[in-house]
């Protein structure tokens, strides 16, 4: 198992829809193990395959759930169902992303979400959650569809995010990946 570099906003892999996983191979199993290691090193709660430069439709998650153990697993070929109506934003509705390291912006999400897919053994997986878990399921599935959470921002927040990304200078400096085993998100 290894920590893989994480792609940063501007990398083409983040804006291309992923491909359906047709077969669970040893390479896919290694990818998933590496993704868990990478997510832990980066202190994230979810990670999509294209965030480590692999265009396969799968993500891993390890998300805190109030009053319970963390929700943790892998979903292969997920399909997302958004449940409920997004509420007006409040301070707790901020969202971050390992591919936009060190930044945090408010984004309204559906209060509940359900993802269906399979695990690495081909068994059906259904993950349903609310709060942070619902946000995580929506966020990671968006990645697999070629969208970053910044793409969904509106109004002044969208302009603020554009300015923050520009100020970071990732694309201008040729930075397309960061190594979470060597740096923190704030150092990128």
Which pLDDT belongs to residue 25? 98
Tens-digit pLDDT profile for residues 105-153: 999 899 999 999 999 999 999 999 999 999 999 999 999 999 999 999 9
Distance CA 110, CA 93 (A): 11
Which pLDDT belongs to residue 129? 95
Which pLDDT belongs to residue 130? 94
Contact 99, 170 (CB under 8 A): no
Which pLDDT belongs to residue 86? 83
Query: Which of the residues in the chain have pLDDT under 50?
Result: none
Residue 97, marked binder: yes
Fold of 6-178: Peptide Deformylase (3.90.45)
b/e code 121-144 from CB counts within 10 Å (16+ = b):
eeeebebebeebbbbbbbbbbbbb
Which pLDDT belongs to residue 10? 86
Annotated active-site positions, please? 140
How many other β-carbons are positioned within 10 Å of the β-carbon of residue 12?
Answer: 11
**Domain ranges within the chain, ordered by starting residue:** 6-178
């Amino acid at each position: 198992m290894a920590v893989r570099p994480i792609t940063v906003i501007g990398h083409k892999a983040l804006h291309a829809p992923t491909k359906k996983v047709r077969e669970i191979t040893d390479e896919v199993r290694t990818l998933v193990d590496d993704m868990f290691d990478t997510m832990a090193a980066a202190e994230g709660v979810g990670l999509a395959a294209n965030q480590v430069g692999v265009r396969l439709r799968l993500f891993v998650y390890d998300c805190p759930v109030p009053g319970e153990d963390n929700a943790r697993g892998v979903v292969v070929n997920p399909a997302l169902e958004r449940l409920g109506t997004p509420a007006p934003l409040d301070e707790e509705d901020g969202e971050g992303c390992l591919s936009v390291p060190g930044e945090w912006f408010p984004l309204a999400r559906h209060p509940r979400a359900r993802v269906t897919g399979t695990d690495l053994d081909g068994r059906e997986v259904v993950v349903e959650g609310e709060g942070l878990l619902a946000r995580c399921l929506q966020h990671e599935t968006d990645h697999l569809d070629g969208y970053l959470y910044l793409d969904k921002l509106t109004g002044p927040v969208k302009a603020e995010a554009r300015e923050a990304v520009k100020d970071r200078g990732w694309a201008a400096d040729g930075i397309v990946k960061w190594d979470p085993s060597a740096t923190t998100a704030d150092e990128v």
